[in-house]
Structure 1
Amino acid sequence: MGHPPLALGTMGPQLGFLGILILLAGVGETQPAREPLRPQKVRFQSRNFRNVLHWQPGKALVGATTLYFVQYKMYGQRQWKNKQDCWGIPGLFCDLTNETSDIHEPYYGRVKAASAGVFSGWSMTQRFTSWWETTIDPPVMDITQINGSLLVVLRAPDLPYKDQKRKNISMENYYELVYRVFIINNSLEKEQKVYEGAHRVVKIEVPASGSGYCVVAEIYRPMFDRSSQRSEERCVQIP
């Protein structure tokens, strides 16, 4: 893609250092590159299909502010696209959730750095497919006491975007999810798995009254042999 010549001398005092850097970033590879500036460990971190690009600063010790420029593309595409909200930023991450929303398609991200008018080369991620790589949060859990029993209602996490009717989309739409529920007898300090299956409403028969119990749950994905972290403990006292 061509760019018109930059008449920097005619821009006046209104164009500050940041503006000049962003313009120069559009010129890209014609600027001198300094390898110690190159961002390190560029990678996607995905949680419930929220896909955030992270990186670490290069090895250069420079006094001037370092700014970063982010691009992305789907696997098979030739042209990289600029992420406008992450074009000339001082931070070390960039949310690319909307740009990588097709969860079955592989993507790449890349980052370059600029400091004092000097640009690094690009640092690129490995191929990233969120359906394979995303982690899932623990289930949301509500507990109600009913005649000495505990009724546990579980809900899988939602995606970070909504469907065409503006309704939440559950992780259950994309994976086979297995819920595991554990009960802990506080007096005995003993844990027991009381349920494993696909049902989201679980009734637990409490072994003894007059004791305190805590309940925790997790989500297991059989296809990947992966479990979420456990939910926070929800504790009750059985009269």
Structure 2
Amino acid sequence: MMPKHCFLGFLISFVLTGVAGTQSTHESLKPQRVQFQSRNFHNILQWQPGRALTGNSSVYFVQYKIYGQRQWKNKEDCWGTQELFCDLTSETSDIQEPYYGRVRAASAGSYSEWSMTPRFTPWWETKIDPPVMNITQVNGSLLVILHAPNLPYRYQKEKNVSIEDYYELLYRVFIINNSLEKEQKVYEGAHRVVEIEALTPHSSYCVVAEIYLPMLDRRSQRSEERCVEIP
């Protein structure tokens, strides 16, 4: 017969082992690297599966809130999703408000703890696409017409609302003389129509542009090169 003190020690050990096992399971299910990815105010919450999760055996639950609010709100379209992302563009459309998102996982009847993003403010953190660029030849010069990226449809109370409605933008235009393999910045400013003159006849040039945000000291990636032959 087991002595009382031995039985009590066994019982305590059993309970603590069970609790530790449950905590370990919850922790291993917890989504990893939960963060917002934002481009042109299209705000996507993304995450990676917990250490114990493989395949499509798990589902995820997403909530969001504005900084300072106590109550979290469920994102119905991502409540029980098997995806590793959730579009929260509509829920984060006040671009100067700071937001949080959080995700929990469920698998085989077990639920993880919530995993929360860092604070996210769209106006500060969204990445801007390069300008769309059209080029026309006019009497040996190049006429470059630039367009800022449009916002997601749900932002647009009117048609063709663009990034220009939310930021002071500067356009930078560069020209590359393919014969000399030399790049030169030919324009920086707010105008969207730029004329490039004094080009060498019978030469090949490429033009590329980017957007610069002075308030944030940030620039977009460069547009694709557009190349032309000067007759």
* Structure of larger gyration radius: 2
- Aligned residue for 2:212? 220
Verify: 1:153 aligned to 2:136, yes or no. no
1:150, 1:206 within 8 Å by CA — same for their partners in 2?
no
The alpha-carbon deviation at position 64 of structure 1 amounts to 6.8
Percent identity, aligned pairs only, is 74
Verify: 1:124 aligned to 2:111, yes or no. no
SS at match of 1:86: strand
Which structure shows the bigger proportion of residues in helix conformation?
Answer: 2
Match of 1:200 among 192, 199, 219: 192
The alpha-carbon deviation at position 186 of structure 1 amounts to 1.1
Unaligned runs of 5+ in 2: 1-21
* TM-score, scaled relative to structure 1: 0.83
Verify: 1:163 aligned to 2:156, yes or no. yes
Cα distance, 1:64–1:132 mapped onto 2, change above 3 Å = closer
Which amino acid in 2 is paired with 1:67?
Answer: V
Which amino acid in 1 is paired with 2:51?
Answer: K
The alpha-carbon deviation at position 181 of structure 1 amounts to 0.2
Runs of 4+ displaced beyond 2 Å: 61-64, 161-164
SS at match of 1:158: coil
Unaligned runs of 5+ in 1: 1-30
* TM-score, scaled relative to structure 2: 0.86
Counterpart Cα distance in 2 of 1:92 and 1:147: 53
SS at match of 1:168: coil
Match of 1:58 among 41, 45, 50: 50
1:213, 1:236 within 8 Å by CA — same for their partners in 2?
yes
SS at match of 1:172: helix
Counterpart Cα distance in 1 of 2:70 and 2:26: 25
The alpha-carbon deviation at position 229 of structure 1 amounts to 0.1
| CA deviations over 1:91-135 (Å, ceiling 9, x no partner) | 111110000000011111000001111100000011111001011
1:214, 1:235 within 8 Å by CA — same for their partners in 2?
yes
Match of 1:98 among 85, 90, 95: 90
- Aligned residue for 1:36? 28
Verify: 1:71 aligned to 2:27, yes or no. no
Counterpart Cα distance in 1 of 2:89 and 2:56: 30
Q: CA RMSD in A?
A: 1.6
